[in-house]
Structure 1
Amino acid sequence: MLTVGDRSQAFQSLNTGARLKTDLNRYSNELSSGKPADVAKHLSGRTAAVAGLDRDIERIDGFLDRATALDLTLDRQQLALASITETLEDSGLRMIVVRSDTTLSQLETAEKLGEDAFGSAIERLNGFSAGRSLFSGVATDRVPLASAQTILDALEIEVAGLTEAGDIATAVRDWFADPVGGFSAVAYQGATGDAAKHRISEIHSIDGTARADAPEVRSALAASATAALSARLSGTIGHAERADLLKGAGTDAFSAAQGLHGLAARIGDDQALIANERVRLGAQRTMFASARNDRVNLDPFESASRLQEAQQSLELHFTATARLSRLSLANYL
């Protein structure tokens, strides 16, 4: 018959075994991770320095995350602008050589290239990256431009009644440059106002990303739209005027391409700043993390010793328990 003392001894043995198993698991985890299970206890309650380092690391991680996301956006913008510029220059080469004695087939080919360049530019400018519009400024939930068809329809109405190539080209340029009406009212639907700053570190920020209403972009769109409009006006202006319109559009295309190169260069400057800051912040993070590890990480030899002691204690406990379970009066006597 079990006595109260027997039951008490059994419970005590179970508790001791459970505690030793818990210690063994904790020391095993500490040895494999190199970190204490209870940081506050390991530091004897002196956690202020580690908490400060944790805040510094968290702050740097926030900057690095924002810098990485912004760099991805800028990279996608560079790809889009490079494509627009290349297409604009290719079509400009075909347009700038057009003359009044150019055949109708060659004229129509140049017009088609201009129209394709315009449509391609609109498509690129309306692109998204990671679910965010590339050229809408802070209005990342929507495309910045109306469709190519909508814009050309509006331009056709704008130049209705004009028959001179120079007048038509001027009207198109003015429509795209209008800060209130024209392009701003009909075509552009992204964010307006001052560009939002993107802080990439405690000392540097980027003054927003390129938008589809930038002067360089407007000029590029105006050049290719003029060529596209030439085909639409074939019923109201003559062959010579269409040729003059295309030749002028070709000249404007090369000028606009230079503007796009300049815009891409400014984006490149921002990317260089981001790259430098990421390197600096990365080095700073490594320094803070190393300082934190010096305070928090466990000595592997001490951890191994504690684990070995815990194993030996558990083995002794099991051995003693087994012997006690076999103990009888006859054996005792």
Structure 2
Amino acid sequence: MALTTTGDLSQHFLSARRTVQVKDRLHRLSDELSTGKVADVALALHGETTRVSHLEHRIALADSHVSANRETGGLFAQAQLVLGKIEDRRAALTEQVLSLPANSTRDQRESVAAAARETFESIVGDLNHRVGGKSLFAGEATDRAALAAPDVLLNDLLAAVAGASGADQLLDAVDAWFDDPAGFESRGYLGDPAAYLNRPLGDGTSATLSARADMPALRGLLKAAALGALAAASPGLGARAADAVLRHSGVLLASAAQPLALAQGSLGLQEDRIEQASAQQAAERSSLAILQNELTSADPYATATALQSVEIQLEMSFMLTARLSRLSLSEHI
């Protein structure tokens, strides 16, 4: 019967190969013990990786929803800050206009009119506010300004009231310009006239920014401030007519408070909806991560035991290699 033997060189290579395999397993078990995750998911689950892949997909989807909702929440929060700033401007101008005495002087009227013009310009600038390059109050037309420049708006209004010789005529002309599709709707408002800024929240609902620069609350506020500015800028108005226009401007400014507050309240409800959706998505993401961890986590006790066993194997492999390296012909003679 033939006897198969292994030469010294072959034994050396076999020993080295076993040592490499043991080292690889040692490194893998060390990583699993430190990370708490199995290195080979397919091996740990006996090839049943479909559920893990599904969980990874759902976690990635939840992450994208959370990120998108964070961006949407930032947009709506900025819009709320802008509306609050506009309300502050409205309140300050209202107080200034309504404090004008009945028999005001020209200097007093011009001072209030200048304040009204400055407020008008500031409100237009507020409504053209952008976040990350996106316009807030232009509906879905986020790529452009919501309103034309303040000078353009006031010049159009001056042209519209050019023939007015009294307060009633000027008020009618301003009303007509703000209501006329060929006036404010085409030359003043530059955003999307139909669609509001709408963002899906990932839970089957969406958040809508209904505060748009052409909404009645903001249009009425712009009209009120513009009237105050025109009271001193219209050459055809006398002192009494200018006083009447300023008083009417003050009334409109005061009456704009409630619609603006309602717009802020509506926006606040949308912010709450975004926050709730974000919390729901974050909770779902946490639950999915727990399920994923249960499937891919390494048992610390079993891993530590296996690691200890592999360390012993590696020591024995080193001892065997050292013994083989000391063998020589003289030791067998």
What TM-score does the superposition give when structure 2 sets the normalisation length? 0.91
Matched, 1:205 2:206: yes
1:20-69 residue CA offsets vs partner (Å, 9 max, x unmatched):
22222222221122111221221112223323333332332232222211
For 1:21, the equivalent position in structure 2 comes to: 23
1:276 maps to a residue whose letter is: Q
SS state at 2:256 partner: helix
Q: Note closer, same or farther for the CA distance 1:172–1:10 as it changes in structure 2 (3 Å cut).
A: farther
2:252 maps to a residue whose letter is: D
Percent of matched pairs sharing the same residue: 33
Q: Residue 58 of structure 2: which of 37, 52, 56 is its match?
A: 56
Q: Deviation at 1:99? A: 4.3
Is the contact made by 2:124 and 2:147 (CA closer than 8 Å) also made in structure 1?
Answer: yes
| 2-structure distance, mates of 1:113, 1:206 | 36
For 1:141, the equivalent position in structure 2 comes to: 143
2:165 maps to a residue whose letter is: T
| 2-structure distance, mates of 1:108, 1:249 | 14
For 1:78, the equivalent position in structure 2 comes to: 80
For 1:30, the equivalent position in structure 2 comes to: 32
1:133 maps to a residue whose letter is: S
Q: Deviation at 1:73? A: 0.5
Q: Note closer, same or farther for the CA distance 1:5–1:175 as it changes in structure 2 (3 Å cut).
A: farther
Is the contact made by 1:138 and 1:195 (CA closer than 8 Å) also made in structure 2?
Answer: yes
Q: Name which of structure 1's ranges 196-205 and 76-85 shifts more when overlaid on structure 2.
A: 196-205
For 1:293, the equivalent position in structure 2 comes to: 293
1:217-261 residue CA offsets vs partner (Å, 9 max, x unmatched):
11111111111222221x321122111111111111122232111
What TM-score does the superposition give when structure 1 sets the normalisation length? 0.91
For 1:119, the equivalent position in structure 2 comes to: 121
Is the contact made by 2:12 and 2:321 (CA closer than 8 Å) also made in structure 1?
Answer: no
Count of residues paired in the alignment: 328
Matching of residues 231-250 of structure 1 within 5 Å: 231-233=232-234, 235-250=235-250
For 2:45, the equivalent position in structure 1 comes to: 43
Matching of residues 292-311 of structure 1 within 5 Å: 292-311=292-311
Q: Name which of structure 1's ranges 103-112 and 15-24 shifts more when overlaid on structure 2.
A: 15-24
For 2:268, the equivalent position in structure 1 comes to: 268
1:61 maps to a residue whose letter is: D
For 2:67, the equivalent position in structure 1 comes to: 65
Q: Name which of structure 1's ranges 121-130 and 75-84 shifts more when overlaid on structure 2.
A: 121-130
SS state at 1:142 partner: coil
Q: Residue 165 of structure 1: which of 167, 171, 174 is its match?
A: 167
The alignment yields a C-alpha RMSD, in angstroms, of 2.1
Point out where structure 2 has 5 or more consecutive residues left out of the alignment. Answer: 1-5
Is the contact made by 1:216 and 1:256 (CA closer than 8 Å) also made in structure 2?
Answer: yes
SS state at 1:138 partner: coil
SS state at 2:211 partner: coil
Q: Deviation at 1:176? A: 2.2
SS state at 1:203 partner: coil
Is the contact made by 1:173 and 1:219 (CA closer than 8 Å) also made in structure 2?
Answer: no
For 1:107, the equivalent position in structure 2 comes to: 109
For 1:224, the equivalent position in structure 2 comes to: 225
1:293-327 residue CA offsets vs partner (Å, 9 max, x unmatched):
22221111122222223333223222322222222
Q: Deviation at 1:115? A: 0.9
Hey, which bits of structure 1, 4+ residues long, moved more than 4 A?
4-7
Matched, 1:259 2:256: no
Q: Note closer, same or farther for the CA distance 1:221–1:332 as it changes in structure 2 (3 Å cut).
A: farther
For 1:185, the equivalent position in structure 2 comes to: 186
Is the contact made by 2:140 and 2:198 (CA closer than 8 Å) also made in structure 1?
Answer: no
SS state at 1:207 partner: strand
Q: Name which of structure 1's ranges 128-137 and 49-58 shifts more when overlaid on structure 2.
A: 49-58
| 2-structure distance, mates of 1:17, 1:166 | 100
Matched, 1:156 2:185: no
Q: Note closer, same or farther for the CA distance 1:314–1:95 as it changes in structure 2 (3 Å cut).
A: same
